[in-house]
Amino acid sequence: MSILVNKNTKLLVQGITGRDGSFHAGKMKAYGTNVVAGVSPGKGGSTVDGIPVFNTVEQAINATGANTSIIFVPAHLAADAILEASEAGIDLVIAISEGVPTLDMVKVMPYLTKKGTKLIGPNCPGLISPGEALVGILPGNIFLKGNVGLMSRSGTLTYEMVYQLTSNNIGQSTCVGIGGDPVAGLYYLELLQMFQDDPATEAIVLIGEIGGDAEERAAQFIKEHVTKPVVAFIAGQSAPPGKRMGHAGAIISSGSGTAEEKIKAFEQVGVRVAKIPSEIPDLIKLVMKN
């Protein structure tokens, strides 16, 4: 089992004829993901790495039955690409594009909610269910199939944390990079519920960072709704107030959003928090024993 993507995923790639889209389409296909179509206006009828290209998402769905889309288009076009996928009936959209204007996403989100379209991103590395499907720019070779779910605001820390887990022979059910933009799709609460409901996920790793109150809300959700063991790591513990650190959402303002507040919120609900990423495997082993 896994969440969101698996062997039944039929993936289309919006922006497949661009540099990044074509490169990662090949990587995802090589991993074993069922990449059934690409979309690039004006390029319909061509192929990329044996993948048929269509002019519109609707045409791609009608021809291939695609149910998931990954977006590799420039930031100023990303919102329209997301809306096109949702309008055409795609169930899950993964927006890799970085630098998407926040106001664009503010306009997009209500439409996705109305249509029931799930979104990962934007400005994210995507997700993977090891051994089943890779949808994103994640390095598939570091993942190991197993029973630990992982979610993270940081792409780089996702890779580091997975390396630590895999090196300790701790496999993963699904790993999701949710991105660090202020307005994004599926976040901690939705993913926590999905992992809670997934019978193959036995423990959860949550990687947070400074800024906002998403981690504090996640802690309260864990207290009320999650029975599986959760361990966490918070990045930005030495970040000064008022200075943005990496992601647009990673900023401490008016004394809120600090690493200390987030760590305290988790510890108060019984979530063990690692001081450094290399502590995560031992914490997972500890909580899974109890």
Q: Which two tokens stand for residue 8?
A: 């039944």
Rounded to 10 degrees, the C-alpha dihedral 163/130/84/106 comes to: -40
Catalytic residue among 24, 76, 225, 247: 247
Q: Is the peptide bond before 41 cis (omega within 30 degrees of 0)?
A: no
Contact, 68 vs 91, CB < 8 A? yes
Q: Which two tokens stand for residue 78?
A: 């990303």
Rounded to 10 degrees, the C-alpha dihedral 20/21/22/23 comes to: 40
Place of tokens 């309260």: 220
d(CA 230, CA 224): 13
247 among known catalytic residues: yes
* Catalytic positions, written as ranges: 247
